[in-house]
Structure 1
């Protein structure tokens, strides 16, 4: 190898990791890729989702009829089981409490499938590095939707798998990073089951997804490559 060739090789070895050539052209294209990777094509056939959020809130969500039966333990130690109409939760305190849990917990479960929901504003940002690997970055803000419309997220997306690997939760100018790990396939939905939050690990467990034309009572659990 010539001296010039050696110098060029050294420069390449010292150069920072760059994003792959197949970088998304706009925010909507990236959102579409993420949603496809997480099972957007299957979503119209999903009938029922059951899961436990953080070991404390148990959900039995009738997706077709938009009702969720939520079981949790209140501050007095009593077990509460409430069925709430997602489209019209009403003002009754237990229904409002159940609806708030549905809103928060299902977003953690399904956020990558909700990137193009009404009121979601998507912005493509410059790639960023996490753990030595460059990720695409999709910023989400909200206009008149959700219980906390002022929230904002930066999603870090793996360029190879198109799966979300972390997000920064942004509020009042402060950022908190949460990982998205433990991806598994549940009847065609690729869902993250573990999150490091800075205050410990958040686990979403006992997930079952019933799909029209799929398994009724048992969801496939195929571990995705990390």
Structure 2
């Protein structure tokens, strides 16, 4: 019995050492400090150009958005009423974004109440904050609590640095947006609380124009990880 346990222990240790080495390599190659930006008219003008390229008026006037995040999380968002149906596996949460405590929960077709329901509501809210950001982040650059500045990364590339001082699940996160020749986002570098490596780049690809005229990106590549959004629809 001791020999198999010893072999298993060596195997697990080997995996941990390999992961640590991989993390160190990625950290040394990609980690950057958050750049210092310059706030003011130039930053606001760049943000406005991006919104114009993305038909912000169409987004503002769209009431409903639905999508699937990485095949697991499903959403139907009533933007006007601040409500969203969040479902994953056998869980369905009718989430009220303004007053989450009034949200309702069903698991396997049965209503759930009390402490168990609050755990599902909190999880649904966290899922929505993350997964909707990967869908509509460019449209949020003038949200309350957001600061905008012009900044350059370590390679000297100039972009729009957006910092969220409030809202969401992890306030304080920053994103350095880079735009293409048509002022449409092509990707950003991230300085976020949940990722210990600063400045990782995520692309914004596979743009599609929805039924209400809203351009949305359905694919993001982060290192070797693809973050895909499926079944994107909008309507009024």
TM-score (norm 1): 0.73
In the TM superposition, residue 43 of structure 1 has moved relative to its aligned partner by 2.4
CA RMSD in angstroms, aligned pairs only = 2.2
- 1:83 paired residue among 81, 87, 94: 94
Name the one with the larger helix percent.
2
- 2:76 paired residue among 45, 54, 60: 60
Residues 183 and 193 in structure 1, CA contact (< 8 A), matched pair in contact too? yes
Residues 37 and 190 in structure 1, CA contact (< 8 A), matched pair in contact too? no
Gap runs ≥5 in structure 2: 1-39, 102-114
Q: Which residue of 1 aligns with 2:185?
A: 164
Gap runs ≥5 in structure 1: 1-23, 74-78, 212-226
Distance 2:154 2:52 in 1: 22
- 1:115 paired residue among 126, 138, 141: 141
Alpha carbons of structure 1 residues 206 and 116: separation in structure 2 relative to 1, 3 Å? same
Residues 128 and 137 in structure 1, CA contact (< 8 A), matched pair in contact too? no
Q: Which residue of 1 aligns with 2:58?
A: 42
Distance 1:42 1:141 in 2: 24
- 2:219 paired residue among 194, 205, 226: 194
Distance 1:201 1:113 in 2: 22
- The 3-state SS of whatever aligns with 2:120 is helix
Residues 83 and 98 in structure 1, CA contact (< 8 A), matched pair in contact too? no
Name the one with the larger strand percent.
1
Q: Which residue of 2 aligns with 1:145?
A: 167
Q: What is the aligned residue count?
A: 178
Q: Which residue of 2 aligns with 1:175?
A: 199
Distance 2:137 2:157 in 1: 18
Distance 1:44 1:156 in 2: 22
Distance 1:123 1:67 in 2: 31
Distance 1:64 1:108 in 2: 20
- The 3-state SS of whatever aligns with 2:170 is coil
